[in-house]
Amino acid sequence: MTNIEWTEKTWNPIVGCSVVSPGCTNCYAMKMAHRLASMAVKPDGAGNIYTTHYEGLTKDQGRHRHNPVWTGKVARAGDDHWHIPLKRKKPTMFFVCSMGDLFHKNVPDQWIDEVFAIMAFCPQHVFQVLTKRPQRMRDYILSLDLRAPWPARLPDETTRLISEQLAVAPQLPLPNVWLGVSTEDQRRADERIPHLLETPAAIRFISAEPLLGTLDLNWVGTGEYGVDALSGTQYHEPPENMSAATSQGNKLDWVIVGGESGPNARPMHPEWVRTIRDDCGVYGVPFFFKQWGKWGWVGSGSSGVYDPGQLGAFVPSPQSDNQLLAVSATNVTQDATIYAGTFWAKHDAIHALGKKRAGRRLDGLEHDEMPSPREASS
Ligand code: SF4
């Protein structure tokens, strides 16, 4: 089971990763992998010492034993774990590789083949694949060929388990496989979403968690090329010249947003979330608000008056409506006073409530929208 609100179970046939962008700084999987590795080598009461495939995936950073970092090594789980979806009949939503990244450069193509083989032959389940390496995902998916002799590349045991179904070659893109990219800020959205939109998939989604800044999904891309990820409209001109739309292409089918949790969690401005929620609403794209994380919303106002008893506050500045100005207990009173007044239209206050207390309501509502199955698009 998993506590991740937008899935039912995690499936981790491959584990291990490397830090790739600011969203990775407080990577939960990195800490968990380190813990699993250190637990597994302790002798039990009978003197047995257990090993685990998590060994060697992380290392201590200098003397900081509680601040591990990935080594870049990746590893396979045992066959039993690989075959969990094949043996489970009850339709289930699986988040694939939550303890790493399926498209990490050190994961061999053959391992990815095996994952896709199992997903192809488990149509009763939905598989959610989330990556920060969308270029490799796109290249892999575009070269994927599920016709024979593709299954011959799989290990014997996997082939045996799916052998009864080999007569029917699955259609691409696989209707039960949802492909997504993590987009913690605008730069990562600009870099990653265009690759995702070029990838054939039944459902394309983003996870903006931990959300670290504003995100304009109506214009993503680099250089002269851009796309409105919510409508699919493509532009070949800079954003100032939005009338230069040239074609209608693939778009996002699902948007997940969440704040960061844990002791070093970075705060998320409520306005960043509202903007994404509202943009999704305009284009009818399902929006899922996963959590506030450590920093929960406690109030807002229009006068700039702020309760200095709180531990943190966001106060919009003249330069940027969404700029974070105060988050620490010592700074809040001073900054709130300095920036109080009617100059700013609105401000929100947030507090280090912890993930559970902070909850997942945004302006009084939970947002649990999910994409509905549809014809796969190429
Ligand atoms: S890509 Fe994902 S698993 Fe890998 S370091 Fe970043 S957050 Fe962690």
**pLDDT tens-digit readout, 63-122:** 655 679 999 999 999 888 998 998 899 999 999 999 999 999 999 998 998 898 889 888
Residue whose CB lies within 8 A of the most ligand 1 atoms, among 25, 67, 69, 101, for a mutation test: 101
Residue nearest to atom 4 of ligand 1 (CA): 17
Q: Is the CB of 17 under 6 A from ligand 1?
A: yes
Q: Is the CB of 296 under 6 A from ligand 1?
A: no
The pLDDT confidence band at residue 374, using thresholds 50, 70 and 90, is: low
Predicted TM-score of the model (pTM): 0.85
Q: Is the CB of 358 under 6 A from ligand 1?
A: no
The pLDDT confidence band at residue 20, using thresholds 50, 70 and 90, is: very high
Q: Are 107 and 74 in contact, with CB atoms under 8 Å apart?
A: yes
pLDDT at 184: 96
Contacts of 331 (CB under 8 A, 6+ apart): none
pLDDT at 297: 79
- Among residues 286, 372, 302, 284, the alpha carbon closest in space to that of 344 is found at 302
What's the 23 CA to ligand 1 centre distance in angstroms? 8
Residue whose CB lies within 8 A of the most ligand 1 atoms, among 12, 14, 19, for a mutation test: 19
pLDDT at 287: 98
Q: Are 140 and 148 in contact, with CB atoms under 8 Å apart?
A: no
- 93 versus 378: the higher-pLDDT residue is 93
147-184: pLDDT as tens digits? 554 555 566 656 655 555 545 566 789 999 999 999 99
Over the chain, what is the mean pLDDT? 80
